[in-house]
């Protein structure tokens, strides 16, 4: 909704009274450049090589004096459980405080090893059937001042955040805050669709229509809808909120938006375009067609008649391939995940759960059944058969 995800997390930290924020980023410094545009004050550290979370935190050791909170940049719901974490930290300032929550797929996460009410450690991605519990850690930890002493003793340091945490737990124990409902996760790209629902419950989302928006008289707007500056919406379009339409977007006639829908700035749609439960990135243009339960990147182009299939014919859960592994998404409705700067010709489509990279070019009449890597050109193969006419 016009801001980077990390912006919302920083606002939640400020609400909890945390103002000394260190952000660890890659050598391109994209986070630092972006947040300066939003007036965010923080200290920035560069991790030169992607050697894991433990190594990333280690780069910030010179800026940390006492106990410190480690949190992923996408924890938009942090204000729901940060206060009890801070309270627990006062009881055990030399130990570890962490948040946990029950999960139906413990093999996908770091899972807590528990005996009674005592946390014994964290087991990362345990094999199916050998999970020590069904409670996963939620990427939110309060760590003691001497965390780095434990980290430096490890022989394998690259991604050994969990190893260092387990060493501290073994000596000093851990305090656990067990959450009643799951926290925001971004392990897989389709988790963004769950995230979009949270956005509309934020105080930052407010139902409004900009005075500069041009909306035809017979457009129907239901529910909580935000329409940004210089937006144009033409005849017979129906918008069922919650929905966010970013600045300078142009919505053609006879469109249908079914909540929740987020269209970032400068999105354009053609006539007879339907979008349902999807996120569309800045500058993307869609012609006629259907986009359902999908995540689309920035500056994409879609020819007329583009369709995302978002349900299996047997209505079972949709499976998606991630790093050559078939993952049960737990969803019966999921369209496509499409990277930025990708182009589709006319009469194209995607099967449920397909992931398409950035910079791809999909030829006309092509139905994409499998994932495509970045910068792939993919055309359906047509065979032309000529038959002699009978006389």
DSSP secondary structure string, 32-70? HHHHHTTT---EEEE-SS---HHHHHHTTGGG--S-EEE
Give residue 361's pLDDT. Answer: 97
Contact 181, 100 (CB under 8 A): no
Alpha-carbon gap, residue 207 to 102, rounded angstroms: 34
- Residue appearing with tokens 């987020």: 262
- Residue appearing with tokens 């955040």: 161
Give residue 157's pLDDT. Answer: 62
Q: Rounded to a whole number, what is the largest CA-CA distance in the chain?
A: 95
Give the long-range contacts of residues 310-319, CB within 8 A, separation 24 or more. Answer: 310/334, 310/335, 310/352, 311/352, 312/352, 318/352, 318/353, 319/353
Contact 96, 172 (CB under 8 A): yes
Local confidence pLDDT in tens for the 391 residues of the chain: 988 889 989 988 888 888 899 999 999 999 999 898 887 889 999 999 988 889 999 999 999 988 999 998 988 888 888 888 988 888 878 889 999 989 888 888 889 998 877 889 999 888 888 889 999 988 899 999 899 999 998 876 656 888 999 999 999 888 888 888 877 788 899 999 988 888 888 777 889 999 999 999 899 999 999 999 999 999 999 999 999 999 999 999 999 999 999 999 999 999 999 999 999 999 999 999 999 999 999 999 999 999 999 999 999 999 999 999 999 999 999 999 999 999 999 999 999 999 999 999 999 999 999 999 999 999 987 666 555 555 5
Give residue 390's pLDDT. Answer: 52
Tokens of 178: 């067990």
Alpha-carbon gap, residue 247 to 123, rounded angstroms: 45
Q: For 144-169, what is each residue's pLDDT tens digit? A: 989 999 999 887 665 688 899 999 99
Distance of CA 52 to the CA centre of its chain: 19
Alpha-carbon gap, residue 8 to 10, rounded angstroms: 5
Mapping DSSP to helix (H, G, I), strand (E, B) and coil, where does residue 98 land? strand
Give residue 388's pLDDT. Answer: 57
Alpha-carbon gap, residue 57 to 60, rounded angstroms: 5
CA dihedral sign of residues 3, 4, 10, 15: positive
Give residue 382's pLDDT. Answer: 64
Mapping DSSP to helix (H, G, I), strand (E, B) and coil, where does residue 12 land? helix
Give residue 282's pLDDT. Answer: 97
Q: For 326-341, what is each residue's pLDDT tens digit? A: 999 999 999 999 999 9
Alpha-carbon gap, residue 36 to 42, rounded angstroms: 9
H or E element: which one contains 71?
strand 68-71
Alpha-carbon gap, residue 391 to 389, rounded angstroms: 7
- Structural domains in the chain, sorted by start: 5-187 (3.90.550.10), 199-378 (2.160.10.10)
pTM more than 0.95? no
Q: How does DSSP classify residue 79?
A: G
């Amino acid at each position: 909704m016009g801001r980077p995800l990390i912006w919302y997390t920083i606002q939640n930290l400020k609400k909890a009274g945390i103002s000394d924020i260190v952000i660890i980023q890659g050598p391109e410094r994209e986070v630092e450049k972006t947040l300066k545009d939003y007036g965010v004050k923080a200290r920035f550290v560069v991790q030169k090589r992607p050697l894991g979370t433990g190594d990333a935190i280690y780069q910030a050791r010179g800026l940390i004096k006492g106990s410190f909170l480690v949190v992923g940049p996408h924890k938009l719901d942090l204000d729901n459980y940060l206060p009890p974490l801070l309270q627990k930290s006062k009881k055990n300032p030399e130990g570890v405080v962490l948040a946990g929550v029950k999960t139906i797929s413990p093999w996908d996460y770091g899972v807590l090893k528990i005996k009674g009410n005592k946390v014994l450690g964290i087991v990362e991605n345990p094999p199916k059937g050998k999970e020590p519990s069904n409670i996963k850690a939620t990427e939110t930890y309060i760590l003691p001042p001497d965390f780095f002493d434990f980290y430096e003793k490890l022989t394998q340091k690259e991604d050994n955040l969990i190893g260092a945490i387990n060493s501290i737990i073994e000596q000093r124990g851990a305090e656990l805050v067990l959450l009643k409902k799951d926290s925001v996760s971004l392990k897989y790209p389709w988790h963004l669709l769950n995230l979009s629902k949270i956005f509309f419950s934020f105080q930052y989302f407010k139902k409004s229509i900009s005075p500069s928006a041009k909306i035809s008289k017979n457009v129907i707007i239901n529910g909580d809808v935000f329409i940004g500056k210089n937006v144009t919406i033409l005849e017979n379009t129906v918008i069922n909120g919650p929905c966010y339409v970013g600045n300078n977007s142009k919505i053609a006639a006879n469109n249908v938006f079914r909540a929740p829908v987020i269209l970032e700035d400068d999105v354009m749609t053609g006539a007879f375009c339907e979008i349902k439960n999807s996120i569309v990135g800045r500058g993307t243009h869609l012609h006629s067609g259907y986009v359902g339960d999908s995540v689309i990147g920035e500056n994409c182009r879609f020819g007329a008649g583009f369709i995302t299939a978002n349900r299996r014919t047997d209505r079972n859960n949709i499976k998606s391939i991630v790093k050559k592994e078939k993952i049960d998404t737990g969803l019966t409705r999921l369209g496509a995940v499409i990277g930025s700067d990708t182009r589709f010709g006319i009469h194209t489509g995607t099967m449920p759960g397909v992931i398409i990279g950035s910079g791809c070019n999909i030829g006309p009449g092509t139905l994409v059944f499998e994932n495509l890597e970045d910068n792939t050109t993919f055309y359906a193969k047509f065979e032309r058969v000529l038959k002699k006419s009978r006389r």
